[in-house]
Amino acid sequence: MNFPSQQIGDFSVTAISDGFLSAPLDMLSNIDPADAARIQRDAGVIDPSAIHINCYLIRSETRTVLVDAGAGGFKQWGGRLRDNLKRAGVLPSDVDTILLTHAHPDHIGGLLDSTGEPCFPNAELVLHAQELAFWQSDANLHRASERARGNFLFARRVFEKYRDRLRVFVGEEVLPGIGAQPLPGHTAGHCGYRIQSKDQDLLIWGDIVHFPHLQISRPEVSIAFDLDPQLAAQTRVGLLDMVSADPVSYTHLTLPTIHYKCRYRWWPGD
């Protein structure tokens, strides 16, 4: 099976699908759900409420790194990561580092197996200090809605299972050749990861858009999953401007792919 791949200097980056989740269009703000459905239909989207979940495998001679771990079947979302990794020639025990863009369940569900134990026995789990602090805060938990409360408890369970190999960062340096880029708004410590090697670079930007056809042309459209919808929109607008000439890869693109180039248009595999 061929997975979309890109060589960035010494690193090969491969998009690996975990499957998809479903989110009704009325979870969007700043757009009428009927307009949203029309834009999705016009773009040829068959199931307008499907949000695709992609993870990224970064390999070098010495490292096997995964960015996010998919939903792993949480609420019956996704769950295909492990099989797809195997098809790409990677076993869970091969992964030495997992970089989290953030700790929503569709990004950390795949860290636990069906018995609730760690799926990646040798991986260090790395995330922004602010992201960990947000989910560990009892004050935040008590303020949370019913839906969000489940996310808190789930994130805490995952962190507990990986507690002996959890690493948080505050600056940009994460691994040699891989740096973090804070992209606040979607969650408190939401980050992208920039891979830089031999004059080439690629940004994996996490949850900047959930519905690419809607939010790239209408960046003011936010989703109820955003912790701070206004800040998320601001970050999205700024980033779309910044990456207008840069390659970028993202979690919820309809098909797993590597490049997004040129503002308001995308070319899979370009």
Smallest distance from the beta carbon of 141 to Zn ion, in angstroms? Answer: 18
| Residue in 134, 137, 112 with CA at minimum distance from that of residue 125 | 112
Assess contact for 145 and 109: CB atoms under 8 A: no
Phi, psi for 11 (deg, rounded to 5): -105, 140
- Binding track over 115-154 against Zn ion, x by CB under 5 A: ----------------------------------------
Phi, psi for 244 (deg, rounded to 5): -55, -25
Interface with Zn ion by CB under 5 A: which range of 56-64, 101-109, 138-146, 163-171?
101-109
Smallest distance from the beta carbon of 104 to Zn ion, in angstroms? Answer: 4
Residue 82 found at the interface with Zn ion (CB under 5 A): no
Which amino acid, 110?
Answer: G
Site for Zn ion in 204-223 (CB under 5 A): 207
Residue with smaller CB distance to Zn ion, 8 or 191:
191
Residue 236 found at the interface with Zn ion (CB under 5 A): no
DSSP 118: B
Interface with Zn ion by CB under 5 A: which range of 32-40, 54-62, 97-105, 130-138?
97-105
Smallest distance from the beta carbon of 95 to Zn ion, in angstroms? Answer: 21
Q: Please state, in angstroms and rounded to a whole number, the distance separating the CA atoms of residues 110 and 118.
A: 9
Residue with smaller CB distance to Zn ion, 50 or 88:
50
Question: What sign does the CA torsion over 227, 231, 233, 237 have?
Answer: negative
Residue 104 found at the interface with Zn ion (CB under 5 A): yes
Assess contact for 181 and 173: CB atoms under 8 A: no
Q: Please state, in angstroms and rounded to a whole number, the distance separating the CA atoms of residues 144 and 188.
A: 14
Interface with Zn ion by CB under 5 A: which range of 17-25, 55-63, 96-104, 256-264?
96-104
Phi, psi for 150 (deg, rounded to 5): -60, -40
Residue nearest to Zn ion (CB): 104
Smallest distance from the beta carbon of 77 to Zn ion, in angstroms? Answer: 12
Assess contact for 206 and 101: CB atoms under 8 A: yes
Cβ count within 10 A of residue 114: 9
DSSP 246: S
Interface with Zn ion by CB under 5 A: which range of 12-20, 55-63, 84-92, 98-106?
98-106
Smallest distance from the beta carbon of 67 to Zn ion, in angstroms? Answer: 13
Smallest distance from the beta carbon of 31 to Zn ion, in angstroms? Answer: 19
Question: Which residue, chain included where needed, has tokens 């090697």?
Answer: 197
Residue with smaller CB distance to Zn ion, 208 or 243:
208
Interface with Zn ion by CB under 5 A: which range of 38-46, 103-111, 112-120, 228-236?
103-111
Would you mind telling me the total number of residues written for the chain in this entry?
A: 270
Interface ranges with Zn ion (CB under 5 A): 104, 207
